[in-house]
């Protein structure tokens, strides 16, 4: 279970930010301060603010709930940006992990043909690189092994630790490869967890 790191970039992040502020106004002073310090650019900050609140922390909450019921749960964060798009987008957009998960990079245009933002990004086609293909192969391998055995781990890939009710184990699929997610990501999820806990 997981999310990309720039989900709300395609959903009017400024509007999502305003809605979150309106919905949680009294509880957000510390949250806003945290994001202002971490992300000085206004649009980048609002995109990450909404992504973490609406996708990231809720994904972790659901994974922990599954773990509490004794089910295997593994959390991921996808921040990989296809090499062709680097410098053009601030992070991994909504659903951009899917062609990597299913190792269908050759069909990336057809798979998102109905999305106007996707058509704009790939107006000149899409050329995969070795780095793109390596992330796709790794992700697809994890998903296949999990479907077969309930354990995503296999030979030749970094270990993907399972999540428990109390731990923050999370695998990052990023531009630098497959690694354990950063503490900064976990800290932002913790900040949101404190805000959202009272609504659950």
The pLDDT, as a whole number, for residue 114 is 57
Dihedral sign for Cα 132, 138, 139, 140, please: positive
Total domains in the chain come to 1
What does pTM read for this prediction? 0.92
**CATH code of the domain in which 93 resides:** 3.40.50.1820
Q: Helix (H) and strand (E) counts for the chain? A: 9, 4
On the 0-12 / 13-18 / 19+ scale of CB atoms within 10 A, 41 is exposed
Are the C-beta atoms of 170 and 77 separated by less than 8 Å? yes
What range defines the domain where residue 116 resides?
A: 2-199
pLDDT tens, per residue, the chain with 200 residues: 999 999 999 899 999 999 999 988 778 888 999 999 999 999 999 999 999 999 999 999 999 999 999 998 999 999 999 999 899 899 999 988 999 999 999 877 666 655 666 667 777 778 899 999 999 999 999 999 999 999 999 989 999 999 987 778 999 999 999 999 989 999 999 999 999 887 77
**Ramachandran bin of 36, using left for φ above 0, alpha for ψ from -120 to 50, beta for the remaining angles:** alpha
Tens of pLDDT, residue by residue over 21-57, are 998 877 888 899 999 999 999 999 999 999 999 999 9
**178 and 171 in contact (C-beta within 8 Å)?**
yes
pLDDT score for 110 = 64
Dihedral sign computed on CA atoms, order 173, 184, 16, 45: negative
Mean predicted lDDT score pLDDT of the chain: 90
Amino acid 122: pLDDT: 74
Residues 6+ apart with CB under 8 A from 93: 4, 6, 7, 9, 10, 117
Q: Which pLDDT does position 24 carry in this prediction?
A: 85
């Amino acid at each position: 279970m997981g999310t990309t790191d720039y989900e709300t970039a395609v959903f009017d992040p400024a509007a999502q930010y305003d809605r979150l502020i309106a919905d949680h106004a009294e509880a957000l002073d510390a949250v806003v301060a945290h994001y202002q310090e971490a992300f000085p650019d206004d649009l980048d900050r609002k995109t990450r603010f909404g992504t973490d609140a609406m996708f990231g922390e809720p994904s972790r909450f659901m994974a922990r709930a599954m773990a509490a019921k004794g089910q295997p749960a593994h959390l991921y964060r996808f921040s990989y940006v296809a090499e062709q798009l680097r410098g053009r987008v601030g992070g991994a957009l909504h659903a951009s992990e899917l062609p990597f998960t299913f190792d269908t990079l050759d069909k990336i245009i057809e798979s998102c043909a109905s999305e106007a933002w996707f058509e704009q990004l790939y107006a000149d086609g899409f050329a995969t690189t070795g780095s793109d293909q390596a992330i796709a192969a790794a992700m697809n391998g994890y998903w296949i092994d999990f479907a077969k055995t309930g354990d995503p781990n296999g030979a030749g890939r970094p270990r993907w630790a399972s999540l428990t009710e109390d731990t923050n184990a999370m695998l990052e699929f990023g531009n630098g490869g497959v690694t354990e997610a950063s503490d900064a990501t976990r800290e932002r999820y913790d900040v949101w967890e404190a805000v959202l806990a009272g609504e659950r």
